[in-house]
A and B are shown apart, each in its own frame.
Chain A
Amino acid sequence: MRVIGRSFETAMRNEFRMQSRRRAMWLTMLGVSTLFPLLALHALDERFAQEGTLRAIADWTNFLNLWVPIAYGIVLADRIPRDRRLRMDELFATFPTNQRYRLWGKALGVALATVVPLLLVALAGAVHISLRLHSAEVMKFEVVAICVILLPALLFMTAVCLLLSTFVWPPAIGFICAGLWLFLQVSPTMLPSLANSLMSPTGSYAIAGLFHSDRGWAGTQGLVPLGPLGPAVSAQSGVLGPVLVTVLAAVLLGALPAAAGRRNPV
């Protein structure tokens, strides 16, 4: 048990460090995640001014959650192919430690490191809202919003992108990530999809059930209709939605070692 724990912890710590030291990761994640909010600042501020604190926070976090998971997924998807490219997987395969725990440690380490710049931007936005609305409660709400809207979505993308990267040609992963995320946003009135269902990682039920808001504002600003939610919107479904997405992500992550092992049999 101790060996398992060490294997997991070492992989997680090393991946976290390596990912945190990538200048390109910080530049692109911070650059991309601050650029669009700054471009939309005027529209966002107008929207915030019309709403209460709770809905403003939901809108802000939803705004980030619309597109941030694409960037996050693409950055993550490079990690496993990189091990193959550098022949590190061959070396790891010779180690007595359990490869499953190493891979899960790697997934968690790289995910934690990549999420840091996004959390900084999300919290910076919350500070901005707090100053605009003169509300001290904003930070508390933002932490909840991050936990039920942003983090389940990012966990879902972690699982999907790492899993894809074990068998898909690396340059194709970016397009699949972006395509999948956009597909998950599209209203079922346009295309059959799980968008706006409890299993959707878009955070729609958490936004409606816990923050009494909707994703409608974003839906009116672009070309993709986001559509209405199902009838069962409540505080319970607002919690159940993120939990189901987390469970789905955990199941996908559970399959990661098997998918990686198929490519590089140990």
Chain B
Amino acid sequence: MRENVWFLEYRLLTWRPAGLAAAGVGAVVSLALVATLVSSHNNSTQLLTGGIELGLPLVAGGLAALPAGHDSARELQLSLPTPYRRTLLRRSILAAMWPALGMATVSIAMVTTHRWMSSAGIVGGQLTWIAPLAWSTTMCCLVTVALRSYVAALMVVSVLGGVELLIGSIFRDQSWLHPLYLPATTDTLAHSFWWSNRLDLLGTAVVAALLTGRLLRRPECLLQEDAA
């Protein structure tokens, strides 16, 4: 039974991805609560939006790339008739599922407590977290496979997240960089190009997924020792 494989893949990944996702959601919610107490309702709303639009998608990206970065039985897996790409996809979905669930939960909580920032309404506004989630997971996998370094992927997305929060104007003010700008909902100045930005992120995610799949067709690249 194939469903058994999903359960066993979950066992392989252990509870850690769920734990990290829970810690991420906990941190975002706690900071928002503290911000409500010490500053303003607006600040806490912005923190929550930033959490589901930037922080948690990056956590999901890091978790999704983890199976491509390390597999103790990779040589054995490559000798099996089930394509290894499929196994990695299954694991990435399972790893990224937890932060995705966290983001969905936070977004529902935000809608019910009238903290929803997206001007695209409730349904369309779900792209606030879905588009960055797709972008981050596929991009992390691509960098991991292309550079054969999970650390490099983690670094690239973490720095990108930091730069977008601290000096996001670089991305906001140059239209050709919009496809890389994740916090377009949190940043009220970016609402003018919100829809095109979300579609750009989804399009980039599709391209990154296709490129990753293509790179994974050369199995030995995965077996070469991670230079990092």
Chain A positions within 8 Å of B, measured between CB atoms, are 22-25, 27-28, 32, 36, 39-40, 43, 63, 66-67, 70-71, 74-75, 78, 169, 171-172, 174-175, 177-179, 181-182, 185, 189-192, 218, 220-224
- Cβ contacts under 8 Å, B132 to chain A: none
Least distance between B171 CB and chain A CB atoms (Å): 8
- Cβ contacts under 8 Å, B174 to chain A: 39
Q: How far is the CA of A257 from the CA of B83 in the complex (A)?
A: 44
Contact of A222 with B159 in the complex, beta carbons under 8 Å: no
CB-CB nearest in chain A for B226: A24
Q: How far is the CA of A175 from the CA of B19 in the complex (A)?
A: 13
- Cβ contacts under 8 Å, A177 to chain B: 158
Q: How far is the CA of A169 from the CA of B163 in the complex (A)?
A: 25
Chain B CB within 10 A, most for which of A74, A185, A220: A74
Contact of A223 with B165 in the complex, beta carbons under 8 Å: yes
Contact of A74 with B155 in the complex, beta carbons under 8 Å: yes
- Cβ contacts under 8 Å, B123 to chain A: none
Contact of B20 with A172 in the complex, beta carbons under 8 Å: yes
CB-CB nearest in chain B for A217: B167
CB-CB nearest in chain A for B50: A223
Contact of A224 with B62 in the complex, beta carbons under 8 Å: no
Chain B CB within 10 A, most for which of A36, A66, A175, A185: A175
Contact of B158 with A24 in the complex, beta carbons under 8 Å: no
Contact of A223 with B46 in the complex, beta carbons under 8 Å: yes
Query: Which one of A27, A169, A181 contacts B20 once the chains associate, using CB atoms below 8 Å?
Result: A169
- Cβ contacts under 8 Å, A192 to chain B: 34, 38
Extra 7 A-B pairs, beta carbons < 8 Å, given A40-B170, A179-B27: A28-B147, A28-B152, A67-B167, A71-B158, A175-B158, A223-B50, A223-B166
- Cβ contacts under 8 Å, A63 to chain B: 167
Chain A CB within 10 A, most for which of B16, B147, B166, B174: B166
- Cβ contacts under 8 Å, B62 to chain A: 171, 174-175
With A24-B147, A179-B55: A39-B159 Cβ-Cβ less than 8 Å? no
Contact of B167 with A174 in the complex, beta carbons under 8 Å: no
Query: Which one of B43, B165, B166, B226 contacts A190 once the chains associate, using CB atoms below 8 Å?
Result: B43
Contact of A43 with B66 in the complex, beta carbons under 8 Å: no
With A174-B62, A174-B155: A222-B168 Cβ-Cβ less than 8 Å? yes
- Cβ contacts under 8 Å, A24 to chain B: 147-149, 151-152, 226-228
Give the B interface residue count (CB, 8 A): 51
CB-CB nearest in chain A for B188: A223
Contact of B162 with A221 in the complex, beta carbons under 8 Å: no
Contact of B158 with A36 in the complex, beta carbons under 8 Å: no
- Cβ contacts under 8 Å, B165 to chain A: 182, 222-224
Interface digits, B148-180 against A, CB 8 Å rule (1 contact, 0 not)? 111110111011011111111111011001000
Q: Does B31 contact A (CB under 8 A)?
A: yes
CB-CB nearest in chain A for B17: A171
Query: Which one of B39, B43, B159, B183 contacts A32 once the chains associate, using CB atoms below 8 Å?
Result: B159
- Cβ contacts under 8 Å, A74 to chain B: 151, 154-155, 158
- Cβ contacts under 8 Å, B27 to chain A: 179
Q: Which of chain B's residues 3-40 have a Cβ closer than 8 Å to chain A?
A: 16, 19-20, 23-24, 27, 31, 34-35, 38-39
Chain B CB within 10 A, most for which of A172, A190, A223, A224: A223
- Cβ contacts under 8 Å, A25 to chain B: 228
Q: How far is the CA of A63 from the CA of B163 in the complex (A)?
A: 10
Least distance between B207 CB and chain A CB atoms (Å): 19
Contact of B151 with A70 in the complex, beta carbons under 8 Å: no
Q: How far is the CA of A63 from the CA of B221 in the complex (A)?
A: 37
Chain A CB within 10 A, most for which of B24, B155, B168, B174: B155
Least distance between B144 CB and chain A CB atoms (Å): 11
Query: Which one of A23, A32, A179 contacts B155 once the chains associate, using CB atoms below 8 Å?
Result: A32
